[in-house]
Amino acid sequence: MKIKINHELCKDWLNEKDIKNLIPKMTAAHEALHQHNGLGSEYTGWLSLPENHDKMELMRINDCATEIRKKCEVFLVIGIGGSYLGAKTAIDLLESDGIIGAPIVLFIGNTLSATKIKQVLAFIQNKEVIVNVISKSGKTLEPALAFRFIYGFLLEKYGKKEAMKHIVITTDKEKGLLKPFALENNIPTFEVPDDVGGRFSVLTAVGLLPMAVAGINIQDIMDGALEGMNEYAVNDISENNCYRYAALRYLMYKKLQKKIELFAYYEPNLGSFAEWLKQLFGESEGKQLQGLFPASVCNTTDLHSLGQYVQNGERILFETTLWIDKPMNNLKVPTIPDDYDKLNYLTGKDVSWINRMAMQGTVEAHYAGGIPGISLNIEEISAFGIGKMFYFFEKACGIGGYLLEINPFDQPGVEDYKSNMLNLLKR
Ligand code: PA5
């Protein structure tokens, strides 16, 4: 599975010399990451997860998922940020392939919305439910609050002893409040490794258990990630597309002074992936008054709204187009006898081809209008491909953070809102 990079659309602004000049800096970033001696190196365990993950744990995840699939109609995943976005990405992407069977997987605990909690409670009222509470710290308010409601529901529906059989916990091996709760009640748990931070945890039980419950082959996910790990290990910007992408977005920021990386995608199923990317890059790079602001548009929908801004608005952004080469689905345009809409010229054409022409027309218009672009062509969407995509962007983000000379693996800014909120709540 290939992820190709095309930077024809930034050639007027960036050239090979700019990329070559970055080689010493790239080498320093590569070495710091691979030798685990850069900023935040205690959280770089994700780098070798595709190879070094606990194989027994993977089997345990699969076994647990098989049991869950037999027992429930609704699988509730409670988590926020890195504790849900990776699994949601894979599930949303593969859903269109018809791979996903029962149970229905629902995500909750990623907002403080009473409406959302009420809707979910109403939906699960007469259904068999199993819940996976995912929180590395075990003390994040949003999932904790959602679980409080779901826990109450389980107690009422099943009684205490039986309710415990409807809970699976994914958390830190000792920190936080979930672990003692699980131990006390004999609840099955999966651990988030110490050296893997939330937004880099998709290839641990955090992402893999919900994926397996949804029917995704998690061995394929890991195999794809392993292909990525091997392919993107070489420190050579001309060979390594991941490093080339990291170099280009760094140059967009530093040389062209762009402030926003706009991810543009043309399949709505990529929406959760865009959210995962925004969390990954935004939380990793937005530090010390630096960093690209990651944003996204779902085209062609957003060409009828934000497209105007991109074409004619302030020159503060560059565009990264995420394109899937092999269409996820296809339909041929039907003919209609009276041709009332004058679209018979498209009869027999693939809708995915029309989508492709829209993408091509858009990136060319943006380029002509002065918007530099990068295209990332993803060969196909499959569990294997998704595993590789996760690894590609995690690595680009780790390298990108080191190019900026910041710690990409902490999130001190997130703590500020939390402590303010808690002060207000306790006052
Ligand atoms: O990347 C991160 O560390 C964060 O976005 C976390 O994933 C998020 O805050 C959820 O944290 P926790 O899993 O501890 O509940």
Write down the pLDDT at residue 318. 98
Best residue among 42, 78, 139, 140 to mutate for probing ligand 1's pocket (most ligand atoms within 8 Å of CB) is 140
The model carries a pTM of 0.96
Distance 177 CA to ligand 1 centre (A): 15
Q: Give how far the C-alpha of residue 272 lies from the chain's centroid of Cα atoms, to the nearest Å.
A: 6
The order of strands in the sheet holding 317-324 is: 3-6, 373-378, 317-324, 260-265, 293-298
Cα separation, 383 vs 216, in Å, equals: 7
Nearest to 394 by CA among 308, 289, 283, 302: 283
Write down the pLDDT at residue 100. 53
Catalytic positions, please?
283, 304, 418
Write down the pLDDT at residue 124. 97
The set of protein residues with a Cβ atom below 6 angstroms from ligand 1 is 80-83, 135-137, 140, 143, 197-199, 283, 411
Encode the chain in three state secondary structure: CCEEEECHHHCCCCCHHHHHHCHHHHHHHHHHHHCCCCCCHHHEHHHHHHHHCCHHHHHHHHHHHHHHHHHCCEEEEECCHHHCHHHHHHHHHHHCCCCCCCCEEEEECCCCCHHHHHHHHHHHCCCCEEEEEEECCCCCHHHHHHHHHHHHHHHHHHCHHHHHHHEEEEECCCCCCHHHHHHHHCCCEEECCCCECHHHCCCCHHHHHHHHHCCCCHHHHHHHHHHHHHHCCCCCCCCCHHHHHHHHHHHHHHCCCCCEEEEEECCHHHHHHHHHHHHHHHHHHCCCCCCCEEEEEECCHHHHCHHHHHHHCCCCEEEEEEEECCCCCCCECCCCCCCCCCCHHHCCCEHHHHHHHHHHHHHHHHHHCCCCEEEEEECCCCHHHHHHHHHHHHHHHHHHHHHCCCCCCCCHHHHHHHHHHHHHHHC
Write down the pLDDT at residue 98. 45
Write down the pLDDT at residue 95. 82
pLDDT tens per residue across span 108-120: 999 999 999 999 9
Write down the pLDDT at residue 328. 85
The segments of the chain whose pLDDT lies below 70 read: 96-101
Best residue among 139, 172, 179, 199 to mutate for probing ligand 1's pocket (most ligand atoms within 8 Å of CB) is 199
Distance 157 CA to ligand 1 centre (A): 30
